[in-house]
Structure 1
Amino acid sequence: MLKSIRILLSIATSLDLEIWQMDVKTAFLNGSLDESIYMMQPEGFIEKGQIEKVCKLQKSIYGLKQASRSWNIRFDQTVKSFGFIQNPDESCVYKRIKGDKLVFLILYVDDILLIGNDVGVLTSVKEWLAKQFDMKDLGEASFILGIQVIRDRKNRTIALSQASYIDKILSRFSMQDSKKGMLPFRHGIKLSKEQVPKNEHEEQFMSRVPYASAVGSLMYAMLYTRPDICFAVGIVSRFQSKLGPDHWTAVKHIFKYLKRTRDNMLVYSGGDLIPVGYTDSDFQSDSDSRKSTSGAVFTIGGGAIIWRSIKKSCIADSTMLLHARLPKRLLGSANS
């Protein structure tokens, strides 16, 4: 879905489309149930002599395992009845084309993004949605999935920023006062499963280190707007069980780099809507398995839409064989 949002934002930048946002209030209460589900009576609603009775749910409620799916089915059926067509590759993306009027609709749980080339048509879609569900109109999109959207229509640019999120994770892992790093990964550093704690002191230290949580926080930034840390995060994420101080130092180095580059943004500059891809690979760089790491980035409209850094599943005997297999493998993994 992130790929689709970035692609559509790039298209919107290039074609100067409107980008509006809406929120569905209590979305999960809109779903219908196909099963018979019973629940205990809510506290304060039990009548005298009726204490043994239970309630049969007529609609979906928060807490049900099928609540999110019920809501999604209801929304899907509703928007399709208004002429929207679901994207076969990305089920959360819909489009409606009538003549030269185009509308894209993106749903993420209860957040809706509307992108189109006609204000009147977008307004009618927004009003129609408000009649179907209890909605909140958020106007022009300024935040998408926690990402700040900074638009300059005069210069045809859209920038995506996670500066506030970076500040949050720096504070969470006590890195807000650290020195600023020049690169996300130091040249010449080789991490290995053999770099385990050497003594009891290091073992006790590593037992208190929130390694998995820190890597997960970095991965969130990497997946959304920071392709520049993709390789570094990919390396440190390989070590979740057998790890030592050297691995933690590498993680902290990524945080230091993010502190220096917190204001870096993913920018779409309204260029040609022609996909351009770049791929490359090292050769047997993994110290433990001798496997290679491949990377790729694809751009549209001057900005990155997909990026990957992947450790190969097999050991390549030569760089020729490695590069021959590279494009297909990376393209096949670029569907998220």
Structure 2
Amino acid sequence: MDVKTAFLNGNLEEEVDMKQPKGFSSSGDEHLACKLKKSIYGLKQASRQWYLKFHDVISSFGFMENIMDQCIYQKISGSMSQETYINKVLERFQMKDCSPSIAPIIKGNRFNLNQCPKNDPEREQMKNIPYASVVGSLMYAQVYTRLDIAFVVGILGRYQSNPGIDHWKVAKKVMKYLQGTKDYMLMYRWTDNLEVIGYSNSDYAGYIDSQK
């Protein structure tokens, strides 16, 4: 999260007068000073006033300050969801009304360099298709909560430099899968004995181009 001109949002607790900026004063009023109504950049207390303002606003949304680091705020809801983000992705790429898919990829799907454009007409066909933007958007969802699309997103990423129409169809299929599962989320429960179990997928040299 970023806040534009952050320090200008702080409220002043003291009365601060400021010399008029060059070119601002009119003839005969050069002796007058400006009384600040809000914090500005350059004040010694500007950063603290911004912190107090931010603290009040973020606390109103239910976030709590971390006792170990006052720069960190947390809100415990028990779950992590990216449904809002997924809806934005679907709308951005004109897929908000698409029919859902039951899986992003199925057994038997094969991807290789032969599916990449080989001539100018094929490259021209892909010229205005936002393949890289879609893969990047899918990767953002995958990194945070949608680990179920990690495998197929990794495959799609291999062809970022020269994607073909077959790769684009798969990217759209992943978005269709998210359409039907956008309410899926990670659920967390408090436990004294947290045991993390990792799983690794192997398709036994299924990557045709490198035999890995």
Task: Judge same fold: TM > 0.5, yes or no.
Answer: yes
Specify the SS of the correspondent of 1:250. Answer: helix
Aligned-pair distance for 1:252?
0.5
Decide whether aligned partners of structure 1 residues 209 and 269 sit closer, same or farther in structure 2, where only a CA change above 3 A counts. same
Alpha-carbon distance change, 161 to 141 in structure 1, aligned in 2, over 3 angstroms: farther
Matched, 1:47 2:23: yes
SS in structure 2 opposite 1:257? helix
Q: Which residue pairs with 1:174 in the alignment?
A: 94
Aligned pair in 2 of structure 1 residues 281, 200: CA closer, same or farther (>3 Å)? same
What CA distance in whole angstroms lies between the structure 2 residues aligned with 1:257 and 1:229? 9
Q: Distance in 1 between matches of 2:122 and 2:89?
A: 24
1:214 paired with 2:194, answer no
Partner of 2:55, secondary structure, is strand
Shift in alpha-carbon separation, 1:168–1:285, aligned structure 2, 3 A: same
| AA aligned opposite 1:228 | D
> Residues 7 and 50 of structure 2 are in contact (CA less than 8 Å); yes or no, is this contact kept in structure 1?
no
Is 2:187 the partner of 1:267? yes
Deviations 1:310-333 (CA, angstroms, capped at 9, x unpaired): xxxxxxxxxxxxxxxxxxxxxxxx
Kept after mapping to 2: 8 A contact 1:150/1:160: no
> Contact 2:135–2:156 at 8 Å: present in 1 too?
yes
Q: CA deviation at 1:253?
A: 0.7
Contact 2:80 2:187 in 1 (8 A): yes
1:313-332 superposed matches below 5 A: none
Please show how residues 248-263 of structure 1 align to structure 2 within 5 Å.
248-263=168-183
Q: Which amino acid aligns with 1:47?
A: G
Following the alignment from structure 1 to structure 2, what is the Cα–Cα distance between the partners of residues 46 and 196?
61
Compute the RMSD of aligned alpha carbons.
3.4
Q: CA 1:207/1:268 → structure 2, altered by over 3 Å: closer, same or farther? A: same
Who is 1:279 aligned against?
200
Which sections of structure 2, spanning at least 5 residues, go unmatched?
Answer: 11-19, 25-40, 65-74
For the structure 1 residues 133 and 196, does the alpha-carbon distance in structure 2 shift closer, same or farther, using more than 3 Å as the test?
A: same
- What pairs up with 1:291-330 in 2 under 5 angstroms? 291=212
Alpha-carbon offset, residue 279 of structure 1? 2.8
Give the deviation of 1:285 after TM superposition. Answer: 1.4
Higher relative contact order (CA 8 A, sep 6+): 2
- 1:28, distance to aligned residue in structure 2 (A): 11
- The TM-score with structure 2 as length reference comes to 0.67
1:205 corresponding residue in structure 2? 125
The aligned amino acid for 1:286 is Y
2:6 maps to a residue whose letter is T
In the alignment, structure 1 residue 226 sits paired with structure 2 residue 146? yes
Is residue 9–residue 50 contact of structure 2 (8 Å, CA) maintained in 1? Answer: no
Aligned to 2:209: 288
Deviation at 1:203, TM superposition (A): 2.9
Q: Which residue matches 1:187?
A: 107
Aligned residues: 168
TM-superposed CA distance for 1:276, in Å, is: 2.5
Question: Which of 113, 136, 142 is the equivalent residue of 2:55?
Answer: 136
Is the 8 Å Cα contact of residues 112 and 208 (structure 2) preserved in structure 1? Answer: yes
1:26 and 2:6 matched: yes
- 2:28 alignment counterpart: none
* Distance (whole Å) between structure 2 residues aligned to residue 190 and residue 252 of structure 1: 16
Cα distance in 2, alignment partners of residues 132 and 264 from structure 1: 35
**Per-residue displacement from partner, 1:184-224 (whole Å, max 9, x unpaired)?**
11321111122123665543321110011010111111111
SS in 2 for 1:266: strand
Q: Secondary structure at the match of 2:113?
A: coil
- Give me the TM-score of the superposition, normalised by structure 1: 0.44
Change (3 A) 1:191 1:46: farther
Greater strand fraction, Structure 1 or Structure 2: 1
- Alpha-carbon distance between aligned partners in 2 of 1:182 and 1:169, rounded to the nearest angstrom: 19
Q: Structure 1: where are the runs of 5+ without partners?
A: 1-22, 31-43, 49-56, 60-70, 72-128, 143-148, 152-157, 292-336
* Aligned-pair CA distance for 1:226: 0.7
